[in-house]
């Protein structure tokens, strides 16, 4: 027995987070926990204030810069 509660993790990913099965199985446990609002240091899920702060630090390019590596 692996000690992993797979039914609970699958319910979290597939039902609560609405992930497609292939997306669920491609995640690492750490990625799944971050999506669920957990993570290192007890940080919670991203809030609107957190998103606004990131947008101020890393604004979208306004001069036609590409962000896709091309």
pLDDT, tens digit (0-9, with 9 covering 90-100), for 24-49: 999 988 888 888 887 655 556 778 99
Q: Three-state SS for 15?
A: helix
Q: What are phi and psi of 9, to 5 degrees?
A: -65, -40
Structure tokens at 49: 């204030």
Q: Is the pTM of this model over 0.85?
A: no
Cα 51 to Cα 11, 28, 40, 43, 54: the distances in Å are 27, 23, 18, 14, 5
Q: What is the pLDDT of residue 46?
A: 79
Residue 52's φ and ψ, nearest 5 degrees, are -60, -40
What is the rounded average pLDDT of the residues 5-34? 90
Answer for the pair 21, 14: CB distance below 8 angstroms, yes or no. Answer: yes
């Amino acid at each position: 027995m692996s000690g992993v509660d797979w039914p609970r993790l699958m319910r979290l990913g597939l039902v609560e987070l609405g992930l497609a099965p292939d997306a669920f199985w491609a995640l690492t446990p750490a990625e799944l926990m971050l999506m669920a609002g957990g993570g290192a240091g007890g940080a919670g899920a991203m809030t609107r204030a957190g998103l606004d702060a990131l947008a101020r630090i890393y604004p979208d390019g306004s001069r036609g810069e590409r962000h896709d590596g091309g």
